[in-house]
């Protein structure tokens, strides 16, 4: 079993109503790896500049994540994103996006990375996602994320990329934007006709929903009275979800497996938002994860004793 | 066991992306009664004008709902609301609100209505809700709804009304508006200090969440690929929820009872939005409700076998 992720490794500057960080480790691949490394050995693909410092390398390597495939570009600068959350975290404004080393990024995978059992294509240019997917021909489960930008400017390429994966993980509003369906249920059902055998609609603070040919599963978010920074929550969700699948190499990909994976994705995402950037997940323990999964089950379970209804 | 509801009985004109109705039976008390009447005998309090026609009386009396306390105002016109939904039903615009008979409404309850076991105060002026609540001193469970309008212009009266009920049912954004808390979890927890022993955060297409001193429960909405008209969904939810409680007169009000009630509320709300106004719920059968509750359980259940996590 082996798990490869391709995506951004970044420095983020983030302001929320609850504080700010001027420069912290971020990026989709980083958040994904920190979450997924609880489940399996993760191999990260992505470029960094020579400003990528020792503490960041160490953080990326948490729980044995392999960074041999991280390309260090001499004279380059690491991807930088600066954003601000408003309106009780319900809206996000991007102030700065410096692609830097990502402008010339052409993924070169080692044989070990190519031989992965499970692959996650984090949110990058759909052409790049498809190229990486092609290099990992034997992966038994491939999931991907994307974003509104690519839906708007690279729609055809994105749809081609989606056709080649097993699972599309997207925000519910992006699913609607992509399909022009009136709601995320209709949108997800349509995408199940495009190639993927599973679609996940991420719903932010409300939770997430899974669509497969065999059924539907929805899980509310863990209730938090204090949310500090949502940055990376979707990638932590993907890390828990895809990591769980990777940790079960002997189990066929089924609705039931993906349901259980959703629960771990939800748990990881809930920790992500409790502090800025990677600060909470980097100190997270496996006992805390197990405890949160227990809570998720308690808060969604109900007994159903049929009652006689009037007519 | 007996269940009283006070609230609007109305004619609605509604336009959605999927059609329109120029004049259909509506109002919070109507939607509530149609849903709650599957569980218990409902007694409706509210005014109508002499334009309230025979078909509307008949619809209101579905499944034995008692309309003896519905005040018919001679020469008056029934409450009228005209609204339009945009943006895939995500936003609602009010074009016309004619209070009509509601302008002079002073609730006069019969002895039978006052003697109710369970009371629901649908969304009306908080002063009126409090007056009705005072007249039903022996009710063992009192729930209420409200809206942003009253939070903005009648906040003190609303808070006083909330202090006198057992359960506040409100949209999650209204909970945040009311408490100025940064999210609905913090908001609901604060309101549990104001008097109610339970708070429900309605989340529209995402579902609903229950907060009590004894725990937290969240239930996603039933997945519908076609939603026609959301008008009255919150009141149908309340009807299923409060109706379930009323149908269990020998059971103490507990977290577990309210959890099971949430499931029926969610089921009823999901039918409400499948057609305009009351059109779906009026033809609904008890078998369909039971089947939907079964589905709600299947789509939220997961097995949790502990796995060994890496550290």
The answer to whether B261 and B245 are in contact (CB under 8 A) is yes
Q: How confident is the model at residue A119 (pLDDT cuts 50, 70, 90)?
A: very high
What is the CATH classification number for the domain harbouring B15?
3.40.1190.20
Number of domains in chain B: 1
Instruction: Quote the pLDDT of residue B305.
Output: 83
Are A89 and B219 in contact (CB < 8 Å)? Answer: no
Q: Phi and psi of A306, rounded to 5°?
A: -55, 140
Burial A64-92 (b: 16+ CB within 10 A, else e): ebbbebbbebeebbbbbbbbebeebbeee
Of B176, B209, B226, the CB nearest to A220: B209
- Is the ipTM higher than 0.90? The answer is yes
Q: Which one of B300, B305, B306 makes the best mutation probe of the A interface by having the most chain A beta carbons within 10 Å?
A: B300
What pLDDT, in 10s, does the model give residues A194-223? Answer: 999 999 999 999 999 999 999 999 999 999
* pLDDT at position A1: 60
Residue-level pLDDT at A277 = 97
pLDDT band at A85 (very low <50, low <70, confident <90, very high): very high
Q: Do A309 and B289 touch (CB under 8 A)?
A: yes
Residue B228: DSSP 8-state: -
- State the pLDDT at residue A294: 97
Residue A272 has pLDDT above 90, yes or no: yes
Residue A149 in any domain: the answer is yes
Q: Do A310 and B217 touch (CB under 8 A)?
A: no
- Does some domain include residue A309? no
Which pLDDT tens digit goes with each residue over B159-206? 999 999 999 999 999 999 999 999 999 999 999 999 999 999 999 999
Whether A221 is in a domain gets the answer yes
- Nearest chain A residue to B215, by CA: A299
Give the pLDDT score at A60: 98
Nearest CB partner across the interface for A310, out of B17, B63, B216: B63
* pLDDT computed for residue A78 by the predictor: 98
Higher pLDDT, B61 or B1: B61
- How sure is the predictor about A87, in pLDDT bands with cuts at 50, 70 and 90? confident
How far is CA A117 from each of CA A3, A42, A140, A245, rounded to the nearest angstrom?
Answer: 6, 11, 6, 10
CB contact under 8 A, B299 and A224: no
Determine whether the interchain pair B219/A303 forms a contact, defined as Cβ–Cβ distance below 8 Å: no
Residues of B in contact with A88 (CB under 8 A): 176, 182-183
Strand order in the sheet with B10-16: B19-26, B10-16, B79-86, B91-98
> Per the CB < 8 Å rule, is B225 touching A183?
yes
pLDDT at B304: 85
pTM, two decimals, is 0.97
Testing the interface with A: which of B36, B206, B273 to mutate, by most A Cβ within 10 A? Answer: B206
Question: Between chains, do A260 and B303 touch, taking CB under 8 Å as contact?
Answer: yes
Contact: B302, A262; criterion CB under 8 Å: yes
Percent of chain A with pLDDT over 70: 100
Mean pLDDT of chain B: 97
A286 vs chain B: nearest CA distance in angstroms? 6
Its domain, for residue B26, covers: 3-298
Does the pLDDT at position A245 exceed 70? yes
Q: Which of B186, B223, B309 has the CB atom closest to A286's CB atom?
A: B309
Is residue A307 in a domain?
no
Is the residue at A304 inside a domain? Answer: no
| Mean pLDDT estimate for chain A | 97
Question: Which three-class secondary structure state does DSSP give residue A180?
Answer: coil
Q: Is residue B276 part of a domain?
A: yes
Q: How far apart are CA B311 and CA B308, in angstroms?
A: 9
Flag whether B262 is in a domain.
yes
Q: Are the beta carbons of B224 and B274 closer than 8 angstroms? A: yes
Neighbouring residues of B146: CB distance < 8 A, sequence distance ≥ 6: B123, B126, B129, B158, B161, B162, B168, B170, B174
Chain B residues whose beta carbon lies within 8 Å of the beta carbon of residue A267: none
Cβ contacts from A onto B, under 8 A: 153
Residue B305 is assigned to a structural domain of this protein: no
Judged against a pLDDT cut of 80, whether residue B1 lies above it is answered with: no
For the cut 80, the answer to whether the pLDDT of residue B302 exceeds it is yes
Q: Provide the pLDDT for residue B87.
A: 86
Phi, psi of B215 (to 5 degrees): 160, -170
Q: What does the alpha-carbon distance between residue A230 and residue A202 come to, in Å, rounded to a whole number?
A: 13
How large a percentage of chain B has pLDDT more than 90?
Answer: 96
**Mean pLDDT throughout A158-162?**
98
């Amino acid at each position: 079993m082996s798990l490869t992720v391709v995506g951004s490794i970044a420095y983020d500057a983030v302001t929320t109503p609850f504080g700010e960080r001027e420069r912290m480790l971020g990026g989709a691949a980083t958040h994904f790896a920190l979450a997924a490394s609880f489940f399996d050995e993760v191999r990260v693909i992505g470029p960094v500049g020579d400003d990528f410092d020792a503490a960041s390398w160490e953080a990326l390597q948490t729980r044995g994540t392999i960074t041999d495939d991280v390309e260090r570009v001499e004279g380059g600068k690491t991807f930088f994103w600066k954003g601000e959350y408003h309106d009780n975290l319900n809206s996000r404004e991007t102030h700065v996006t410096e692609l830097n080393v990502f402008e010339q990024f052409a993924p070169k995978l080692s044989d070990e990375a190519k031989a992965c059992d499970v692959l996650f294509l984090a949110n990058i240019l759909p052409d790049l996602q498809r190229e990486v997917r092609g290099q990992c021909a034997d992966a038994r489960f491939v999931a991907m994320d994307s974003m509104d930008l690519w839906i708007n400017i690279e729609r055809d390429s994105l749809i081609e990329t989606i056709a080649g994966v097993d699972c599309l993980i997207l925000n519910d509003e992006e699913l609607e934007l992509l399909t022009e369906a009136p709601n995320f249920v209709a949108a997800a059902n349509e995408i199940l006709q495009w190639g993927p055998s599973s679609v996940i609609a991420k719903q932010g603070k409300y939770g997430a929903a899974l669509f497969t040919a065999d059924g539907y599963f929805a899980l509310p978010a863990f209730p938090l009275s204090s949310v500090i920074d949502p940055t990376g929550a979707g990638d932590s969700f993907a890390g828990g979800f895809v990591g769980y699948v990777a940790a079960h190499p002997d189990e066929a990909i089924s609705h039931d497996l993906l349901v259980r994976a959703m629960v771990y994705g939800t748990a990881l995402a809930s920790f992500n938002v409790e502090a800025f950037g990677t600060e909470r997940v980097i100190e997270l323990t496996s006992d805390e994860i197990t405890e949160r999964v227990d809570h998720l089950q308690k808060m969604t379970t109900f007994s159903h004793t049929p009652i006689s209804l009037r007519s």
